Amino acid sequence: MGRHSCCYKQKLRKGLWSPEEDEKLMNHITKHGHGCWSSVPKLAGLQRCGKSCRLRWINYLRPDLKRGAFSQEEEDLIIELHAVLGNRWSQIAAQLPGRTDNEIKNLWNSCIKKKLRQKGIDPNTHKPLTEADRRGAAPTVSTERTSGSSDVNPSSAGALGNLSHLLSETAQSSMLLPVYDKNHPETASLPRPKVPPKELFLDQLTAGHESPSSCRSSGPTLYFPFQQPLGYSNECGTGDGASMNSLWFNQNDFNCSTISTVMPPVSPSALSTSMGLNLPPENPRHGGTGIGNTPFYWDGSNPSSSGSTGSSGSNSMGFEPQSTTSILENSVFPWTDIGQEKDTRVHLVEELKWPDLLHGTFAEATTAMQNQSQSLYDDVIKAESQFNMEGICASWFQNQQPQQQLQAASDMYDKDLQRLPLSFEHI
């Protein structure tokens, strides 16, 4: 557990980054990739620590960042994912291409928490607030900012006319699916169910995300009907009822219909994007609360249908060819947002900062890159030292998805899949 060496160094700049610093960092990573972050400041000529450079790149300079306000669908997805994952912002961010964990964390702390409380839902437990809570009692968690306690409107919960059923549903699902949170001893002290614990599902969720190559899995098939939408959003996203659709995780014959009562309250959209789930043909567009209602198909039984080899697949950056198409169609990437979403349009005008201009220099080439076929991807993986425009993407892929890691993750996921039926035998 050593302290990062750069932390001890003196004469390092702190605070906000200047455009010049941003440019230096951008130029360096564009040309050379980041490699070892601790060496980046020196090589880039920056008086910053490597950690700071990494953070700046990840949170601000990365060319794939989606800018602008969060959509309602994104907020809904964050809420649903938070119910499952808790404060694992990085994992939540992995389900939201183009968004950073920091961004999501800020949104949660500044906005979503308040909204949930106003709906009478405890943002930490995702259960209905107690009467005491709703009367404006102290926040339920010590990490709460003091300013956050004042936003509880005692009358707001009752004022939301259609919330009662929502609350009862939420309460019901929460009772069935207690969210274990290390930050909440009261939940941690709850007796753990003998059914597959949350962590197991988290494993699947993260494995699904981290090992896109799992499409090669030849393990037993599982059907996971997710029939318990949280329905947090009473503003949108629930009216079409699509989120009520079952989502089937098709992996052969294991019909696990009872799992719907023990599954974490994760939305089909969340899982479809994170796990590459295969929707049944009769439900080609679930229209749920996912990112742009992205129809995200991925047939595990047909590797070719994934549009890529097993070494690719979807990932957090949405670079997998097939999913990229969907994602592009749904305006995940900033350069495809332009002129497509009204709110984004506003923000493009209002929030255009100089890094956006920098990003603009990437737009054309990167868009072209994204339209390239799998062969490019393969080439990119192989071309480990090309630092032209394609090199950016290459280094990006190298950093994000080394094939060895993919293989290892795939193997691990295969094991997890094989473990699942055993786990469910205890139900």
Partner DNA sequence: AATCCTGTCAACCGCGGAGCC
Partner DNA sequence: AGGCTCCGCGGTTGACAGGAT
Residue numbers at the binding site for DNA (CB under 7 A):
1-5, 7, 13-17, 35-39, 48, 50-52, 54-56, 59-60, 69, 87-91, 101-103, 105-107, 109-111, 114, 142-143, 145, 147-148, 150-151, 183, 399
Please report how close the Cβ of residue 155 comes to DNA at its closest, in angstroms. 17
Nearer to DNA, 195 or 210 (CB): 210
Size of the chain in residues: 427
Please report how close the Cβ of residue 394 comes to DNA at its closest, in angstroms. 16
Pick the closest to residue 198 from 314, 91, 313 (CA basis).
91
Nearer to DNA, 15 or 281 (CB): 15
Please report how close the Cβ of residue 195 comes to DNA at its closest, in angstroms. 24
φ, ψ for residue 227, nearest 5 deg: -120, 15
CA angle 178, 421, 170 (to 5 degrees): 20
Would you give the distance in Å from CA 315 to the centre of its chain? 10
Nearer to DNA, 85 or 262 (CB): 85
Using CA atoms, how far apart are residues 321 and 385, in angstroms rounded to an integer?
22
Count of alpha carbons within 13 angstroms of residue 318, beta-carbon side: 30
Nearer to DNA, 183 or 371 (CB): 183
CB distance 273 to 296 below 8 Å: yes
Please report how close the Cβ of residue 62 comes to DNA at its closest, in angstroms. 11
Rounded to 10 degrees, the C-alpha dihedral 141/142/143/148 comes to: 70
In terms of DSSP H, where are the helices of 86-195? 89-94, 101-107, 113-118, 131-134, 156-159, 163-176, 185-188
CB distance 260 to 244 below 8 Å: no
Q: Collapsing DSSP states into helix, strand and coil, what is residue 360? A: helix
Please report how close the Cβ of residue 90 comes to DNA at its closest, in angstroms. 3
Q: 């032209």: which residue's tokens?
A: 388
Please report how close the Cβ of residue 116 comes to DNA at its closest, in angstroms. 13
Please report how close the Cβ of residue 48 comes to DNA at its closest, in angstroms. 7
Nearer to DNA, 52 or 326 (CB): 52
Pick the closest to residue 305 from 317, 313, 294, 293 (CA basis).
313
Please report how close the Cβ of residue 214 comes to DNA at its closest, in angstroms. 19
Provide the token pair at 146. 């003091």
Question: Which of 54-58's residues contact partners 24+ apart within 8 Å by CB, and which partners?
Answer: 55/102, 56/17, 56/21, 56/22, 56/25, 57/25, 57/29, 58/100
Contacts of 290 (CB under 8 A, 6+ apart): 73, 77, 267, 268, 269, 270, 272, 273, 296
Nearer to DNA, 151 or 240 (CB): 151
Nearer to DNA, 184 or 419 (CB): 184
Nearer to DNA, 58 or 365 (CB): 58
CB distance 380 to 389 below 8 Å: no
Nearer to DNA, 1 or 175 (CB): 1
Provide the token pair at 275. 């796990």
Using CA atoms, how far apart are residues 273 and 205, in angstroms rounded to an integer?
10
Contacts of 400 (CB under 8 A, 6+ apart): 315, 316, 317, 319
Nearer to DNA, 69 or 244 (CB): 69
Nearer to DNA, 204 or 221 (CB): 204
Please report how close the Cβ of residue 395 comes to DNA at its closest, in angstroms. 13
Please report how close the Cβ of residue 410 comes to DNA at its closest, in angstroms. 15
Please report how close the Cβ of residue 52 comes to DNA at its closest, in angstroms. 4
Which amino acid, 115? K
